[in-house]
Amino acid sequence: MQKITNIAEYEELIEAGEPFFLLKHSTTCPVSAGAYDAYETFVNDPASEAKGVYIAVQESRELSNHIAQVTDIRHESPQVLFFKDGQVAWNESHWKITKDQLAAVK
């Protein structure tokens, strides 16, 4: 799982065009801690073959706001966005972020 902290790192991921999951994670929220655990379990499962990145929103507010603006998806935390071909193909937030829910995304 890769942590990104700036717009340039995000743009590199988009330009690569490969599918990836992005978690917006609050380091102070218990709901976000639960979502982070589910996300980490999913991404680290070899069967998922998922590329996962995350943002700690308190540390990277500018990046988080940029992603909300360019995707036109209102910021929430926790929030997972699945990018395919450089576009958001799916997103979910809060208690709906589970390993099973993530595994169902194609």
Beta strand 2-3 with 52-56: parallel, antiparallel or unpaired? parallel
Q: Is the pTM of this model over 0.75?
A: yes
Do residues 82 and 90 lie in contact, with contact meaning Cβ atoms separated by under 8 Å?
yes
* Closest alpha carbon to 52 in 29, 69, 36, 67: 36
Q: Domains in the chain: how many in total?
A: 1
Which residues, in sequence order, are bridge partners of residue 92? Answer: 80
Q: Which range marks the domain in which residue 24 is found?
A: 2-103
Task: List the CATH number of the domain containing 54.
Answer: 3.40.30.10
Residue pLDDT, tens place only, 26-65: 999 999 999 999 999 999 999 999 999 999 999 999 999 9
